[in-house]
Every structure is written in structure tokens, then in C-alpha cells.
Amino acid sequence: MKAEKKQYLILFISVISVSTAAIWIKLANDVPSPSIAFWRMFISSTFIIPVYFKKRLKLLDKKEILLSIFSGFFLAGDFALWTLSLKFTSVASSVVLVSISPLFIMLFSFIFLGKKPRAKDVVSVSIAIAGIFLIGSSDLSLIFGVENLTGDLLASLAAASIAGYLMVGQKVRQNVGTLNYISILYPATTIFLLLPVLFTKSSLLGFSGNDYLYLAGLGIIPQLVGHTGFNYALKKVPAFVVSLSILFEPVLSIIWAFLLLSEGLTIKQIAGGILVLFALYNSIKE
């Protein structure tokens, strides 16, 4: 697989940035989950839109705009569905199921593009999911009870949404610059995320100063830096590899939690992280 080293370096920085999301979200524990997702995108959009107008970037054609909005729909679906899944199932079950996004990319690529998955990609996904399963094995509640099944289904749909977000984004990025793309993507995602806020009647205001600071950190580091890096890398790096690299996010999140929040780190989690890292290496290497 050939891609410029610059894209892979940015992809690596992006994964590190996105892995801090769990820390920011945990710190902002007084903010409702739908509001956290909305503020994450709103803050990142407030940085992007002024730059877009200052640079006077060219307008996208109708098809490119619609595809960018469509990608925003999938990104909003990922945030909303995964957050909602946590109300019905365990964190570990949700993390395991949302990690199957590479499987959806292989499936969608085969159905819509006629692309058969490479054998080593199937092996890589299997190893990566085994690693994520090992990380969450202490708190798994898969397929136990109707309520858990609801959460597991929502997490699986979130995984499908990630796949849609990356695949549509890769198509747009072949002809559209990163800034042009995210200047449509981020505001569109913000608008879509208003729906779960309204549906759950969650408050968007009235939080503490520290909570707003944590929300700003979430919007700038994981979203503005992390996801923008993902979208930049999509120009050269296959959506499948980007989705596989995202699986390293929970591994790094555990490390951040260990370093910053003094949460425990188990042998199983370390072993699972090694498996995910090996799976990513196996997929990237020639």
C-alpha cells in the first residue's frame, strides 16, 4: 500500500488527538451527552468558518456540497448513536461493537463498489477486533437481555455510520481540499446534532466555566485537530486503513486515563493494545 509518509504521520497525530476525547468528556461530566456532541462540533465549526471566508476558497459544486452534507449526517449519526448506546449497554460492549467499522467498510465496498477485501485486511480486522474485545472483556454484556441488545444495536449502527462518514469523505476528498470539505462537513454535522439535543430536551447553556473549558478542549483537540487530520489523510490513505487506525483510539484513551486520571491499567488491556497495533501494522505494510 503506497501513500505519502506525510499522510501517515498526520494520521498518527490525529489518532493521538482523538484519543483524548474520552478525557474531555469525562471531565465535562455535568454536561448532558447530546449537548457535549453538539458543542464539540459547534466549537470546531467556529474556527473553520472564519478561515474559509478569509481565504475566499472556491465554492463547491452542488454534488460536492450534497456529499459533504451526507458525510456530516453520518458523522452526527456516529456521535449520537454511540452516545445513546451507552444508556442501554456497557461501555465495553459499546466500544467492541463500534470497533467493527472496518467490517462495514469492507462490506459497503463490496456491495457498492464491487471491491473484494484483501485476505490480509480480513486478518487485520479480525486481530484488531480481538484486541478491542480483550480490552473490554472485564465489562462485556453482549447479547444479555433486550435492553442490552438495544444498546448493542445502536453501537453497531454507530460503526456503520463511521464507515459511511469515511467512505463518503474519501470520495469528496479526491477532488476537494480539506478545508473546503470540512467547512461544509462540520457545520452540517453541528446542525444534525441539534436533533438529539431537542429530542432529549438537553440544555445547551448554564454550565460551569470549567465545563465550557473542557468542551472547548474537546472541540479543538479531538475534533479540529484529530478529525481534520483524518479527513486530510483520506486523500491518500484508504478509508479502511483510517478506520482501522481509529481502533487504536480506545487503547490510547486507556493510557491517558491511567496517566491523567489514575485509572487502572490491566494486562488484558495492554495485550489488547498490542494486538490492535499489530493489526494496523499488518494492514499498512507492503
Low-confidence residues of the chain: pLDDT under 50:
1, 143
CA distance 160 to 170: 15
Q: Would you state the pLDDT for residue 165?
A: 95
Q: Would you state the pLDDT for residue 72?
A: 96
> CA triplet 45, 49, 54: central angle to 5 degrees?
155
Q: Would you state the pLDDT for residue 119?
A: 81
**At 101, phi and psi to the nearest 5?**
-55, -35
Q: Exposed (0-12), middle (13-18) or buried (19+): which is 142, by Cβ within 10 Å? A: middle
H helices, E strands: number in the chain: 15, 0
The grid cell for 269 is: 488491556
> CA triplet 101, 106, 108: central angle to 5 degrees?
90
179 touches 57 (CB < 8 A): yes
Structural domain boundaries, residue 278: 5-284
Report the number of distinct structural domains present in the chain.
1
Which value, in Å, is the radius of gyration of the alpha carbons in the chain? 18
Q: Would you state the pLDDT for residue 93?
A: 64
Q: Would you state the pLDDT for residue 126?
A: 82
Q: Would you state the pLDDT for residue 56?
A: 61
224 touches 18 (CB < 8 A): no
Q: Angle, nearest 10°, between helix axes 5-18 and 239-246?
A: 30
Q: Would you state the pLDDT for residue 53?
A: 74
The grid cell for 119 is: 485476505
Handedness of CA 167, 1, 135, 246 (dihedral sign): negative
